Structure 1
Amino acid sequence: MNYLDSNYQPYDGKGGRYYVKSCKYVNDLLFQAWKAQVPNAVIDSSTSVQMISGLAFQTFKIEISYPQGITVHSLSYSRLFDKKEFSVNILYVDRKQGEKLINAWQNSVFK
């Protein structure tokens, strides 16, 4: 339940402000999917822009608190590199493991 994954895919949109709108749309879909799958959970989310290695990443954070006392943290970071979208996703339950994953990501270097 604690992992980091990354991927990239072609992005055929117009970039710029359209990309930010696209990210918001995807974030809204993710929020609604979690809400539908876990209707008894308390769900909180936020969006921001975070700098990683001097590059701006669209960031979406969501916390899902289950009635049994378990909280799942999901963080998604994405940005365009030319005509490809690069994304990093971190999911964790254990806070110490999550801090390690986030620290590894935040210390990434892009050249």
Structure 2
Amino acid sequence: MAEKETGASGVAALAEANAPVFETLVQMTLDTFERSGLDEETYLLARIAALVAMDASAPSYLLNIGTAAEVGVPLEKIQGTLVAIAPVVGSARIVSAARAIGDAFGLELPGEEEQ
């Protein structure tokens, strides 16, 4: 099984894929941190919250949570962010996010049957 790349190294791998769509995505996000005026932790937690709201796919979580882990954002803060946004986005989005995060990191979630 191929090793998954996370965080900045994952973004770099996408940029090197010689794929115009991925190159465009990388370019779109290059300066957003600086322009946001947020500290790094708040910036990444906001991105993760937005991913939940958008019902993002596993690779999006892999890149953003991977980057958060690389810069030292505690798992408890990510979990706290999910708890904080649950009343706004709803339980279905939180469950979907949990599944996508589990898929991204190869985690087996409680209650999942062997397939």
Please give the range of the TM-score, normalised by the shorter of the 2 chains: under 0.3
TM-score (norm 2): 0.27
Compute the TM-score of the two structures, normalised by the length of structure 1: 0.28
